[in-house]
Chains A and B, each alone.
Chain A
Amino acid sequence: MIMFLQNAIRCSAAFMFGCLGEIITEKSGHLNLGIPGIMCGGVAGGCLSCYLYMGAIPDYTQPSYILLLLIGIIGAVLSGVFLGSIYAFLTVTLKCNQNITGLALTIFGTGFTDIVMQLMDVTKRKQYFSIASTYIAKPLPFAQNLGWFGELFLSYGALVYLAIALCIATGIILKKTRVGLHLRAVGENPAAADAVGIKVDTYKYGSILTGSSVAAIGGFFYVMDLVQGLYNQYQPVEAVGWLAIALVIFTLWRPYLAIAGSVLFGALYTVSNFMDVSSQITNALISFIPYVVTVIVLLSVSVIGSKNVQPPSSLGLNYFREDR
């Protein structure tokens, strides 16, 4: 049972990154359907930077934990920023359709990842990544000594804690700071924000790029931690990305709820590994749950119609000042 929960929580981090990234983006009124592609891009950026780092140091079996982690994250963030800036430029500056741009970005992102992966030597990356993943997924040092508590709460790699920390930080920023207030205003009513002198486009760019970076770390996490460096297993990242978008609805655009929602999705995602193999049908039935629940949440949100649980009012609409 603890094994299962442990797995669920570890898995949830991937969702958390993706979901949080999308929440941040949507808060500015932009529905980024490119998140799956950006998460793939995160795989590429993270892996490539780790690969370069390990290739550069004298003994690749002995990398510095901090540096490896940091460089991996920076690599992922850079690719996230790269892909995010394409989306931001097209939708904010050129005011192109958000849905279309997002879909194109997802298509582009998977191809981009393929190409980047080609740049690395096959045998080397296999060796590198299996070692890198042991470092990145390394649990907290005192986890073993604390029994079930340690296993359940302290046995994860640093990225899992980063995900949770980011969720909480985002929650605080959105709720308590001026930046958060302004960002929410931009997503709700850009004309009103513009009228009081908030730089709408700057906020939009900021949130799209931040969101993309966070989502990209999710891709990096998936490959290096969740599947232990099996670089060729990054295809499911795209599916995780789509689920993360669904999760945003489920969490009602709240970063704190993203933690809980991700754990739930993580549990549903991994539960089949712990089920009896012979009961394929049960497995299939379980796989319904996240989507059906999401649809139910989406519907109840729109049927209830309470203003507090709605998506940002201007979600999906581009802002052009002269239209007002």
Chain B
Amino acid sequence: MVNTKNIVREPLFHVSKRDELSFGKKTIVYVASVFCALLIGAIICSIASPKGNPVMFFVSLFEGVFASSRSIWEMLRDMALLLSVSMALLPAFKMRFWNLGGNGQILMGGLAANVCLITLGGVIGDFWVVLLSVIASMVVGAIWAVIPAIFKALFNANESLFTLMMNYIAQCCVTLFIAIVVKGGSSVLTDDQLPQGGRLPIVGNQFLLTIIVGALIFGFMFIYTKYTKGGYELAVVGDSQNTAKYVGIKVKSVIIRTLAISGAICGIVGLLVTSGNYANAAIGVGSAKNMGFTAIMTTWLGNCNPIMILVSCALVSFINKGMPQVRMAFKLKGESFSNLVVGIIYFFIIACSFIIQYKITFSKKKKEAK
């Protein structure tokens, strides 16, 4: 009898968890993967476009950012906003709470600010309008995040799907608000329909205020997550709920409290993207500029480490700012083009987590049992 069953095949390779890589090795892996991703993006651009070569890709990317002081300022502002949202998501993620609702929380914060501006602007003193706007945007943003948190804490409702839905409900709220405020069938609220009084003041130039607030939020979150009792508690909850319960941490209230902070910061970002004393202060369905999602990526890519998040925010903002120039250079149309390159970068960095967590051992030779 030929006993085929008896052959014990050893798999070609074996995947197992590995010890942590050193910081230096990790950095090399990340930098290499970002570079590879950019290179692939460059090659794709060269193929898709009638003219151009990969080198041009890198050149125009830098040109796009450093073309003028204005574009640098813009990039810094975008980065500050993205960083703020990332910082808002950071405590939630550290707690292993999937807050996919950044967009909605930003929108609701902005909406609250706009409501304050429209109803109170010019009616009471400018300072008071601003103060009330700040408070309102924080409170409303927090509420938007706390609703899913409560249900997560009490009923263990799936938070990622819930917060996702809250994004759309927020969008609907904005649409409704615009429908109420704007007469005559237009679905867009324009800047000139808002009162001038009570907007955020201009500090230095139109970008600086945002950047300062972003830096403050960064500093606050850095300290909060790293040095405070609240930050410590949420990290314990994230790492092991059993342990948290065992040492007497009230898990439910920590979840709700953390999400309130998360939402409040998103609310401030909402205030910043609306209510400014320049360009467009009005809210629209797209006001969040999808930062809620982008920040999920940056926070996760930054491995919940504030400094790393800063780096990844810088990277993403840089590419987003530089891509229009690349598009011009390659004569490519389509607005979401930079998504392709950013998407590839994300894929590569996501794949890095595998290299960092697991190791592959190839079996030396195939063994066959006699």
Contact = CB atoms under 8 A, between A and B. Distances in A.
Interface stretch (B61-69, B222-230, B347-355): B347-355
Interface in A272-301: 277-278, 280-281, 283-285, 287-288, 291-292, 294-295, 298-299, 301
Contacts of A305: 155
Nearest to B333: A118
Interface string B177-204: 0111010010100000000000000000
B172 interface: yes
Contact of A288 (B172, B187, B351): B172
A115 B343 contact: no
A101 B350 contact: yes
Interface stretch (B71-79, B105-113, B159-167): B159-167
Contacts of B44: 115
A96 B155 contact: no
Nearest to A94: B354
B354 A285 contact: no
Q: Is the interface of A mostly helix, strand, loop or mixed?
A: helix
Contacts of B296: 99-100, 103
A20 B268 CA distance: 38
Interface string B314-356: 0000000000000000001111111111111011001101100
Interface residues of A, number: 55
A114 interface: yes
Contacts of B155: 299, 302-303, 305
Nearest to B50: A118
Contacts of B339: 107-108, 110-111, 114
B309 to A, nearest CB: 14
Contacts of A281: 176, 179-180
B185 A280 contact: yes
A100 to B, nearest CB: 5
A256 interface: no
Given A108-B339, A283-B179, A277 B100 contact: no
B350 A111 contact: no
B297 A103 contact: yes
B98 interface: yes
A186 B79 CA distance: 42
A274 B160 CA distance: 33
Contacts of A114: 332-337, 339-340
Interface of A: 31, 33, 86, 90, 94-97, 99-101, 103-115, 117-119, 242-243, 245-246, 249, 277-278, 280-281, 283-285, 287-288, 291-292, 294-295, 298-299, 301-303, 305, 311, 316, 320, 322
A299 B44 CA distance: 44
A99 B98 contact: yes
Contact of B165 (A101, A298, A303): A298
B293 interface: yes
B151 interface: yes
A109 B151 CA distance: 32
A298 B157 contact: yes
28 contacts: A86-B347, A95-B358, A96-B350, A100-B350, A103-B296, A104-B347, A105-B343, A108-B339, A108-B340, A108-B342, A110-B339, A111-B342, A112-B343, A114-B333, A114-B336, A115-B337, A118-B333, A246-B161, A280-B179, A280-B182, A281-B176, A284-B176, A284-B178, A285-B176, A291-B169, A299-B155, A302-B157, A316-B160
B168 interface: yes
B160 A108 contact: no
Contact of B164 (A245, A283, A301): A245
B161 A90 contact: no
B358 A292 contact: no
Contact of A111 (B16, B178, B340): B340
B300 interface: yes
Contacts of A299: 151, 155, 157, 162
Contacts of B179: 280-281, 283-284
A90 B346 CA distance: 11
A319 B108 CA distance: 37
B6 interface: no
Task: Return the 7 tightest CB-CB contacts between A and B, nearest first.
Answer: A108-B343, A111-B340, A111-B339, A114-B334, A104-B346, A94-B354, A280-B179
A94 B357 CA distance: 10
B175 interface: yes
B27 interface: no
Interface in B139-165: 151, 155-158, 160-162, 164-165
Given A97-B300, A246-B164, A291 B350 contact: no
A287 B169 CA distance: 9
B36 interface: no
B32 interface: no
A280 B340 CA distance: 36
A137 B49 CA distance: 33
A277 B184 CA distance: 10
A292 B333 CA distance: 37
A246 B165 contact: yes
A220 to B, nearest CB: 18
B59 interface: no
Contact of A295 (B165, B180, B358): B165
B293 A311 contact: no
Given A114-B339, A292-B169, A284 B164 contact: no
A34 to B, nearest CB: 10
Contacts of B332: 114-115, 118
Contact of A107 (B160, B176, B342): B342
